[in-house]
Chain A
Amino acid sequence: MVVSVMDAAAHAVAEPTRREILHLVRDTERTASDIAGHFDVTRPAISQHLGVLREAGLVTVRADGRKRLYRARPEGLTELRRWLDDFWRTSLRNLKVEVERDHPPTDPRSGE
């Protein structure tokens, strides 16, 4: 998956309402109206959140007659988790470099 989509996924889950929407559609298909019923925010706001989640590859939508049903896209979440794991691995490596720059590890062979 390309980096910009991963950025979109990270941006998507940075917003609490969108994380709650992901929970709601994790195991159950729901319409936008059903999802909106769980929140105090307006239906157009829910539509925008669903658009952000869909473009980030975290939810999919399908037509069932006139209904539009949303559900979480597990592959999208797996890709995001892998990306976050790499993110933290990189961050921890950077932390190690910075700490060791200020406090160089003593080399037992140097005799100091």
Chain B
Amino acid sequence: MTITEPLVLTERIRATPDQVFDFLVDPDKLLRWMGTDAKIDPTPGGEFWLNVTGEDIASGTYLTVDRPNTVSFTWGWEGQSEVPPGSTTVTITLTSEGDETIVELRHDGLPLGPEDEHKGGWTYFLGRLVTAGEGGEPGPVDMGGGDS
């Protein structure tokens, strides 16, 4: 069952959109808050490949790369039939407000169960993006003992 409402999460970061944008498209900076290994070509049509947990690989294709406001890419899990690569779309929008950047993450096309599971994962990783974006060190990815 695919639900019609997208998953939408919002965070605020004390940094400029340009600074936050680097954490989305620079592989070294991306890995400071999300994933254990990345192969990304952040241009429209380019490859998105991210080992998210050390065991689970998300992959897709970049759709929009518009510095400093929008990055979108298709998303799915390699070797998994429920949310296969290319089946869903992630759109991250950055908006400047005062000395902060509002980060909106929108994930379209997820079936009901995976939608709530992705909510847990994205909430965790967006918290790490706030830490990294404000100059902190989120540390290694630790999903807290839930294996797959």
Contact = CB atoms under 8 A, between A and B. Distances in A.
Interface stretch (B11-19, B57-65, B98-106, B140-148): B140-148
B135 interface: no
B9 interface: no
Interface in B37-64: none
Chain A contact residues, majority secondary structure: helix
Chain B contact residues, majority secondary structure: helix
A48 B148 contact: yes
Nearest to B141: A44
A50 B115 CA distance: 12
Nearest to A43: B120
Contact of A46 (B114, B146, B147, B148): B146
A66 B82 CA distance: 21
Given A41-B145, A42-B144, A61 B116 contact: yes
Contact of A48 (B3, B82, B117): B117
Interface of A: 15, 17, 32, 41-52, 54-55, 61-63, 66, 68
**4 tightest A-B CB contacts, nearest first:** A47-B120, A45-B146, A42-B144, A48-B146
